[in-house]
């Protein structure tokens, strides 16, 4: 289904696009970033917190880091109240994701992972390769929401198309 190089490419894409949306978000005031603009999680700030919280949750499930400081999806929306702390943790955690991806062996993609889903309240088992792909698909999905919210403010983030990313391909 996927390979370690595919995961590494997606990890590099993740870092590139996080830099893109965080850089574009810098053009806004703190109040604008936290303003409820009708996004799924309300604001740009809450959505970026959710992405980081979910990344930490999944990497914890993959045994690559400790759990996030907040345990639930609603609590994760306020993982970091201050913009600078959120930005710094995003950069730091992108490094953790990259290190995890860089260390993946083909055998890491084999088998299933079982966890208790806070979203569904039940135990779920899925193939690891599917879950690794989900990590990056989830990020892209919610970054797209942030992109739309930024566009609503008249801000145009940079290119998001994978083929145009410098040094992201790990093939």
Is 168 contained in some domain? no
Is 93 contained in some domain? yes
Residue 23: give its domain's CATH number: 1.20.120.450
Q: Which residues of the chain have pLDDT under 70?
A: none
Instruction: Provide the pLDDT for residue 20.
Output: 97
Instruction: Provide the pLDDT for residue 171.
Output: 78
Is 166 contained in some domain? no
Q: Could you report the per-residue pLDDT of 83-127, keeping only the tens digit for each? A: 999 999 999 999 999 999 999 999 999 999 999 998 899 999 999
What are the tokens at 160? 């998001």
Instruction: Provide the pLDDT for residue 131.
Output: 98
Is 124 contained in some domain? yes
Other Cβ atoms closer than 10 A to 166: 7
List, in sequence order, the alpha helices (H) in the chain.
4-25, 30-34, 44-61, 73-76, 83-102, 128-152
**Distance in angstroms (rounded) separating the CA atoms of residues 69 and 76:** 8
Is 170 contained in some domain? no
Report the domain count for the chain: 1
Is 171 contained in some domain? no
Other Cβ atoms closer than 10 A to 134: 14
Host domain of residue 67: 4-104+111-161
């Amino acid at each position: 289904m996927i390979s370690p190089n595919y995961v590494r490419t997606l990890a590099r894409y993740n870092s590139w696009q996080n830099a893109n949306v965080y850089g574009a978000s810098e053009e806004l005031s703190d109040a604008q970033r936290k303003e409820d603009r009708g996004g799924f999680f309300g604001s740009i700030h809450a959505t970026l917190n959710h992405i980081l919280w979910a990344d930490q949750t999944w990497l914890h499930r993959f045994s690559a880091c400790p759990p996030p400081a907040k345990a639930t999806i609603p609590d994760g929306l306020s993982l970091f109240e201050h913009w600078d702390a959120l930005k710094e943790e995003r950069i730091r955690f992108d490094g953790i994701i990259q290190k995890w991806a860089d260390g993946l062996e083909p055998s890491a993609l084999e088998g299933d992972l079982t966890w208790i889903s806070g979203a569904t309240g039940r135990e779920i088992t899925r193939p690891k390769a599917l879950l690794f792909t989900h990590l990056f698909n989830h990020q892209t999905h919610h970054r797209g929401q942030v992109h739309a919210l930024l566009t609503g403010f008249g801000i145009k983030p940079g290119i998001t198309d994978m083929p145009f990313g410098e040094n992201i391909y790990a093939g």
